[in-house]
């Protein structure tokens, strides 16, 4: 009895337990609303279905959240990812739109390389401000968050650049081996980051810098270089996300691309169990967090609720997940558990509202 | 000819300003330079009405920035302000549309913002969750409320509102709106509270070092909850002023305003880590942002995206300045 209980506490105590519960609840609500929700079919060798769509649409968020996880692991934060996505998307689309043959693969590759290069520069700028000059990350990246949008519009001269390039479109809506190409990219980057950080010492070094940068430096870790690096990686991830977003709609709008994605990404990372204080990161958690947020958004669309209202649901989910994960809240809950009345009732009812 | 060290220090003091005043003075200098550029370039710029228009067009921004100054001084941040402004305007417009008495509408609108701020402050304090995340949720919540009320803009035709919006208070040949007076009153109250009250001292103490403040026996929790409530109240007032200005409530109004407000506070010399800064600096910060917009409007050939780039550049310069004059950054 006691071991079963201990095991149960072990499961419910796992940092991914509650995010997964909310994710499953959302999926169940979708199935109740529309029983065909879970069906996935193979058409012309491509996978189709609501689930596939959700994963495809969350690909940009997953990418941004991956970069954000690393930044947050070092105790920083990157507010500029949305702006970086907008800039790199605008650069790529501008280059393609200027070429006579927009369908040439070489043109698209050059465009992507250009956008990626600009993103690396922007990431390096953030990295220099944070690691080199020692400005607080939230402010250092705030600069680019504000100026980046202006930069994206400057590149596009205030216009929405529309392109007509099939190879570029593939990044957003194409397929590879029956899977949407965006999912393949997100999967590949996730695996790459996971292998680099979890199969080498890099992840531990990043966490140690986040735990205590000075102590890490004294222990022989080039902590500044690591800090610099994570901002570059974050910008690189944001750039790929930017290509996906612009490829999805075959156009680049400096104002709209990646709007609020930084906030969604931070939410995804926090839902995934990574503390904003740094020192630890969980890539799997961030991916699940991103899926959760996208599922929420898609469900709201699917249920014919006004899209903007999804913000209301997002707010409720964020607070519920954060509260459940907060040590202070758990302590309160545990202390009062001996009392017959269950004090988490309000949280439970709040969660009920999500699918409704 | 020996002088005591104290005298030497005093003798130098007239030109060597304390480091914590440098950012504010730099902002003031920048403001003067920008204004002179405007005056020298455009004839109409020297008209005093230009200055008054800056206040008329940005009164709501100023009010919200005063609230944000309180929060940032404690080392926190409030991302919900833009959404709360929009929510207040929406609620007012919607209730007025339902034919509720304007006084009652004002009361309700002015209670909603502080209530949300109080709730966020409580979550931040009691559950020890980062302000960033809590106010982010508050931002989503308030913005969601806006669209829940209506997805389209609601015009305001109420007599009290239109009078408040259109009434001109003449000062010689020029005029200001009622909103400007409200904004300046909020500014004065904010400055007085920070400078002369116990709450103000507690705010600085918590921003300086929360642990020390706690050990000194200061009411840390109460103060933290208070600043988010104040910020909510200021956002609510800002929302009312904005609804005076636009005579409508729109669900997507004031999107991204929190960034402008944070930028204004930072350019005004307040440290984002807390503990150092003045409401006066915030006023200067708001003025700098609005003069940039005025200059770009006067120029006519520059596009609005330059505003963002210039604000970004200024943020960079001021943060670098704060770093260089060696005020504590972390």
Which of B132, B138, B147 has the CB atom closest to A309's CB atom?
B147
DSSP 8-state assignment for residue B177: E
How many CB atoms sit inside 10 A of residue A128's CB?
14
Query: Chain B residues with CB inside 8 Å of A77's CB?
Result: 132
Which of B137, B266, B305 has the CB atom closest to A318's CB atom?
B137
Segment B153-169 shows an average pLDDT of 83
B246 vs B253: CA distance, rounded Å:
10
Q: Which of B138, B251, B276, B305 to mutate to test the interface with A (most CBs of A within 10 A)?
A: B305
A42 vs A32: CA distance, rounded Å:
23
A85 vs A92: CA distance, rounded Å:
11
Query: Chain B residues with CB inside 8 Å of A132's CB?
Result: none
pLDDT for A159 equals 81
pLDDT for B18 equals 73
pLDDT for A330 equals 72
Q: Report pLDDT digits (tens) over A251-289.
A: 888 777 877 788 889 888 988 888 777 888 889 899 999
Distances, alpha carbon A133 to alpha carbons A22, A129, A136, in Å: 41, 5, 9
Say how many CA atoms lie within 13 Å of A125 toward its Cβ: 22
Distances, alpha carbon A325 to alpha carbons A15, A69, A275, A319, A334, in Å: 7, 17, 10, 10, 13
Residue A203 has phi, psi (to 5 degrees) of -60, -45
Conformation bin of residue A230: beta by default, left when phi > 0, alpha when psi is -120 to 50: alpha
Beta bridge partners of B248: B155
CA angle A171, A176, A177 (to 5 degrees): 165
Residue A175 has phi, psi (to 5 degrees) of -130, 150
A199: closest CA of chain B, how far (Å)? 31
Q: Is the dihedral of CA A21, A23, A26, A32 positive or negative?
A: negative
Which of B272, B308, B312 has the CB atom closest to A138's CB atom?
B272
Q: Find out whether B206 and B274 touch, Cβ atoms under 8 Å.
A: yes
Distances, alpha carbon A166 to alpha carbons A58, A59, A174, A252, in Å: 22, 20, 9, 15
Q: Find out whether B28 and B318 touch, Cβ atoms under 8 Å.
A: no
pLDDT for A81 equals 93
Residue, of A8 and A289, whose pLDDT is higher: A289
Segment A179-203 shows an average pLDDT of 89
Q: Which of A319, A332, A343, A356 to mutate to test the interface with B (most CBs of B within 10 A)?
A: A319
Which of A146, A326, A329 has the CB atom closest to B312's CB atom?
A146
A48 vs B2: CA distance, rounded Å:
88
Cβ contact (<8 Å) for A143 and B77?
no
A348 pLDDT higher than 70: no
Which of B132, B315, B329 has the CB atom closest to A143's CB atom?
B315
pLDDT for B189 equals 95
pLDDT for B50 equals 85
Segment B107-118 shows an average pLDDT of 94
Band the pLDDT of A84: cuts 50, 70, 90: very high
Residue, of B83 and B150, whose pLDDT is higher: B83
A346 pLDDT higher than 60: no
A325 vs B292: CA distance, rounded Å:
44
Which of A136, A145, A329 has the CB atom closest to B330's CB atom?
A136
Band the pLDDT of B224: cuts 50, 70, 90: very high
Beta bridge partners of B174: B171
Segment B63-90 shows an average pLDDT of 93
Q: Which of B127, B261, B306 to mutate to test the interface with A (most CBs of A within 10 A)?
A: B127
Q: Find out whether A242 and A185 touch, Cβ atoms under 8 Å.
A: no
Segment B152-168 shows an average pLDDT of 83
Cβ contact (<8 Å) for A147 and B251?
no
Q: Say which residue the tokens 């007509």 belong to.
A: A164
Pairing of strands A175-176, A179-180: antiparallel
pLDDT for B149 equals 85
DSSP 8-state assignment for residue B129: -
Q: Find out whether B22 and B318 touch, Cβ atoms under 8 Å.
A: no
A51 pLDDT higher than 90: no
A128 vs A126: CA distance, rounded Å:
5
Query: Chain A residues with CB inside 8 Å of B266's CB?
Result: 139, 142
B316 closest CA partner among A235, A151, A238: A151
- SS3 of residue A260 by DSSP: coil
Least confident of A336-345, B59-68, B304-313: A336-345
pLDDT for B4 equals 45
Q: Say which residue the tokens 């800090």 belong to.
A: A227
pLDDT for B329 equals 43
Q: Say which residue the tokens 């403001």 belong to.
A: B31
Segment A129-136 shows an average pLDDT of 86
pLDDT for B7 equals 44
Cβ contact (<8 Å) for B319 and A306?
no
> Residue-wise over A215-236: b if at least 16 C-beta within 10 A, else e?
ebeeeebebbebbbbbbbbbbb
Chain A CA closest to residue B127: A328
pLDDT for B8 equals 45
Q: Tokens in use for B6? A: 């104290």
Residue, of B76 and A103, whose pLDDT is higher: B76
Q: E strand or H helix at A168, and its extent? A: helix A166-173
How many CB atoms sit inside 10 A of residue A120's CB?
18
Q: By CB neighbour count within 10 A (0-12 exposed, 13-18 middle, 19+ buried), where does A304 fall?
A: exposed
A216 pLDDT higher than 80: yes
Q: Report pLDDT digits (tens) over B260-302.
A: 898 899 888 888 778 888 899 999 999 988 888 888 888 777 7
Cβ contact (<8 Å) for A146 and B315?
yes
Band the pLDDT of A349: cuts 50, 70, 90: very low
Query: Chain B residues with CB inside 8 Å of A140's CB?
Result: 319
A96 closest CA partner among A112, A83, A118, A74: A112
pLDDT for B68 equals 94
Q: Tokens in use for A322? A: 């954060």
B185 vs B191: CA distance, rounded Å:
10
**A205 contacts: CB under 8 Å, gap ≥ 6:** A216, A221, A226
B112: closest CA of chain A, how far (Å)? 16
Cβ contact (<8 Å) for B129 and A323?
yes
Segment B145-153 shows an average pLDDT of 84
Q: Say which residue the tokens 């903007």 belong to.
A: A308
Cβ contact (<8 Å) for B127 and A329?
yes
Chain A CA closest to residue B317: A143
Cβ contact (<8 Å) for B132 and A158?
no
Segment A292-313 shows an average pLDDT of 78
Q: Name the percent of chain A lying above pLDDT 90.
A: 25
pLDDT for A347 equals 38
Q: Say which residue the tokens 């030109």 belong to.
A: B15
Which of B133, B151, B312 has the CB atom closest to A276's CB atom?
B133
Residue, of A13 and A38, whose pLDDT is higher: A38
Length of chain B: 330
Q: Report pLDDT digits (tens) over B249-261.
A: 888 787 778 888 9
B207 pLDDT higher than 50: yes
Q: Find out whether B245 and B267 touch, Cβ atoms under 8 Å.
A: no
B283 vs B269: CA distance, rounded Å:
10
pLDDT for B272 equals 78
Cβ contact (<8 Å) for A135 and B132?
no
pLDDT for A222 equals 85
Residue, of A44 and A58, whose pLDDT is higher: A58
Q: Report pLDDT digits (tens) over B20-34.
A: 777 788 888 888 888
Residue B257 has phi, psi (to 5 degrees) of -65, -30
DSSP 8-state assignment for residue A100: S
Query: Chain A residues with CB inside 8 Å of B139's CB?
Result: 263, 315
Tell me the pTM. Answer: 0.81
Query: Chain A residues with CB inside 8 Å of B313's CB?
Result: 147
Beta bridge partners of A161: A252
Least confident of A330-334, B35-39, B116-120, B308-312: A330-334
Q: By CB neighbour count within 10 A (0-12 exposed, 13-18 middle, 19+ buried), where does B122 fall?
A: middle
Query: Chain A residues with CB inside 8 Å of B138's CB?
Result: 315
B27: closest CA of chain A, how far (Å)? 17
Which of B133, B305, B312 has the CB atom closest to A270's CB atom?
B133
DSSP codes joined into one string, B159-206: HHHHHHHH-EEEETTEEEEHHHHHHHHHHHHHHHHHHHSHHHHHHHHH
Q: Name the percent of chain B lying above pLDDT 90.
A: 34
Query: Chain A residues with CB inside 8 Å of B146's CB?
Result: 308
Which of A77, A153, A311 has the CB atom closest to B144's CB atom?
A311
DSSP 8-state assignment for residue A43: E
Q: Find out whether A72 and A92 touch, Cβ atoms under 8 Å.
A: no
B275: closest CA of chain A, how far (Å)? 15
Query: Chain A residues with CB inside 8 Å of B307's CB?
Result: 150
Chain A CA closest to residue B119: A319
């Amino acid at each position: 009895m006691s071991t079963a209980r201990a095991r149960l506490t072990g499961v419910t105590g796992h940092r991914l337990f509650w995010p997964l519960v909310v994710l499953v609840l959302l999926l169940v609500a979708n199935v109740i609303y529309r029983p065909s929700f879970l069906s996935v079919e193979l058409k012309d060798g491509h996978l189709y279905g609501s689930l596939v769509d959700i994963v495809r649409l969350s690909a940009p968020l997953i990418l941004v959240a991956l970069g954000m996880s690393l930044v947050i692991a070092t105790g920083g934060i990157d507010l500029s990812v949305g702006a970086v996505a907008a800039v790199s998307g605008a650069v790529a689309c501008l280059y393609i739109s200027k070429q006579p043959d927009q369908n040439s693969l070489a043109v698209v590759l050059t465009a992507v390389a250009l956008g990626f290069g600009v993103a690396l520069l922007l990431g390096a700028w953030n990295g220099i401000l944070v690691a080199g000059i020692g400005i607080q990350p939230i402010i250092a990246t705030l600069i680019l968050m504000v100026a980046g949008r202006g930069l994206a519009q400057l590149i596009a001269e205030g216009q929405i650049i529309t392109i007509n390039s099939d190879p570029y479109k593939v990044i957003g809506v194409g397929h590879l081996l029956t899977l949407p190409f965006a999912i393949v990219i997100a999967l590949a980057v996730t695996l790459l980051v996971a292998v680099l950080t979890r199969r080498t010492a890099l992840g531990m070094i990043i966490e140690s810098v986040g735990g205590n940068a000075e102590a890490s430096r004294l222990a022989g870790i080039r902590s500044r270089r690591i800090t610099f690096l994570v901002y570059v990686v974050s910008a690189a991830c944001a750039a790929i996300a930017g290509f996906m977003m612009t490829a999805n709609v075959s156009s680049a709008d400096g104002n709209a691309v990646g709007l609020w994605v930084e906030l969604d990404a931070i939410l995804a990372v926090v839902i995934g169990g990574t503390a904003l204080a740094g020192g630890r990161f969980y890539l799997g958690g961030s991916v699940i967090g991103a899926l959760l947020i996208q599922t929420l958004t898609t469900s709201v669309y699917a249920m014919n609720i006004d899209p903007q209202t999804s913000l209301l649901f997002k707010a409720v989910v964020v607070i519920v997940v954060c509260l459940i994960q907060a040590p202070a809240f758990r302590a309160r809950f545990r202390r009062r558990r001996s009392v017959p009345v269950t004090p988490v009732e309000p949280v439970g009812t709040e969660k009920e509202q999500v699918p409704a | 000819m020996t002088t005591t060290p104290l005298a030497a220090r005093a003798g130098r003091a007239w030109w060597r300003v304390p480091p914590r005043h440098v950012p504010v003075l730099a902002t003031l200098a920048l403001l003067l330079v920008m204004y002179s550029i405007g005056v020298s370039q455009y004839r109409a710029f020297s008209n005093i009405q230009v200055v008054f228009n800056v206040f008329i067009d940005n009164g709501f921004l100023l009010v919200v920035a005063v609230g944000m100054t309180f929060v940032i001084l404690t080392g926190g941040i409030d991302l919900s302000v833009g959404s709360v402004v929009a929510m207040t305007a929406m609620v007012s417009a919607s209730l007025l549309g339902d034919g509720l008495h304007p006084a009652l509408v004002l009361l309700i609108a002015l209670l909603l913002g502080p209530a949300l701020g109080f709730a966020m402050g409580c979550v931040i304090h009691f559950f020890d969750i980062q302000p960033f995340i809590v106010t982010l949720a508050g931002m989503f919540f308030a913005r969601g409320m806006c669209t829940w009320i209506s997805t389209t803009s609601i015009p305001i035709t109420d007599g009290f509102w239109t009078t408040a919006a259109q009434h001109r208070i003449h000062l010689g040949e020029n005029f200001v709106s009622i909103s400007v007076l409200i904004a300046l009153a909020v500014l004065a109250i904010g400055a007085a509270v920070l400078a002369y009250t116990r709450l103000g001292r507690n705010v600085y103490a918590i921003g300086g070092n929360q642990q020390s403040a706690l050990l000194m026996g200061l009411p840390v929790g109460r103060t933290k909850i208070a600043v988010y409530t104040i910020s909510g109240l200021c956002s609510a007032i800002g929302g009312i002023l904005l609804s005076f200005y636009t005579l409508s409530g729109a669900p997507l109004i004031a999107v991204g305003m929190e960034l402008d407000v944070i930028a204004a506070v930072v350019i005004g010399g307040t440290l984002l880590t807390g503990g150092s800064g003045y409401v006066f600096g915030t006023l200067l910060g708001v003025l700098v942002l609005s003069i940039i917009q005025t200059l770009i409007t006067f120029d006519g050939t520059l596009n609005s995206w330059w505003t963002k780039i210039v604000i970004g550049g200024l943020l960079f310069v001021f943060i670098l300045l704060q770093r260089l004059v060696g005020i504590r950054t972390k």
